[in-house]
């Protein structure tokens, strides 16, 4: 597919509305597919699960999403929320109040034109307004160069595959 030429006149970034949750969910599904996850490895009720997750995160974790539109068509999105954590958080929020960015996705014809960068920056700005002291995200191979250029640093996360 060819890249679409973007101009300031046909490009718009804005906060997503709850009515666009299904589009955000579709982007999340497609992100996994673009990262070579087979369709049969994704639960058949993925849409229901995603919409439920977004609804709960909106109520409990200050969830917000941002979209990129070209000619009034949503072609990219990014979601963010407060990071709940993986273990009990015993630190004061001034020391550790993390935000989490997930599902930064841009449809193929619109990639490599700065949309993911702008969506990520909008999410960072929102999390900063919430008083977050750090932003966390997990980068796909396609997204890693975007986050590297924005100054994200690799963390000390370590992994061990137990399926081999």
| Residue range 91-144, pLDDT digits in tens | 777 778 899 999 999 999 999 999 999 999 999 999 999 999 999 999 988 889
| Residue range 61-75, pLDDT digits in tens | 999 999 999 999 999
91-97 long-range Cβ contacts below 8 angstroms, 24+ apart: 93/131, 93/133, 94/133, 95/133, 96/133, 96/134, 97/130, 97/131, 97/132, 97/133
Would you state the structure tokens that stand for residue 146, as one six-digit string?
A: 């975007």
Distance, CA of 32 to CA of 30 (rounded, Å): 5
The domains found in the chain, sorted by start residue, are: 11-149 (3.40.630.30)
Distance, CA of 99 to CA of 60 (rounded, Å): 13
pTM above 0.85, yes or no: yes
Computed from CA positions of residues 86, 64, 29, 104, in that sequence, does the dihedral angle turn out positive or negative? negative
| Residue range 1-32, pLDDT digits in tens | 556 677 778 899 999 999 999 999 999 999 99
- pLDDT for res 103: 94
């Amino acid at each position: 597919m060819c890249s679409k030429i973007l101009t300031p006149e046909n490009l718009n970034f804005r906060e997503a509305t709850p009515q666009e949750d299904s589009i955000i969910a579709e982007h999340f599904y497609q992100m996994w597919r673009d990262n070579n996850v087979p369709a049969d490895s994704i639960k058949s009720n993925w849409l229901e699960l995603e919409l439920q997750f977004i609804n709960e995160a909106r109520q409990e974790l200050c969830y917000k999403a941002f979209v990129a539109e070209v000619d009034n068509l949503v072609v990219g999105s990014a979601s963010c929320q407060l990071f709940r954590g993986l273990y009990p958080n015993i630190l004061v929020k001034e020391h550790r109040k993390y935000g989490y960015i997930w599902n930064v996705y841009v449809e193929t014809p619109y990639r490599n034109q700065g949309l993911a960068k702008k969506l990520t920056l909008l999410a960072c700005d929102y999390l900063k307004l919430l008083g977050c002291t750090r932003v966390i995200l997990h980068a796909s191979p396609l997204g890693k160069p975007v986050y590297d250029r924005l100054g994200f640093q690799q963390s000390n996360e370590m992994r061990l595959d137990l399926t081999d």
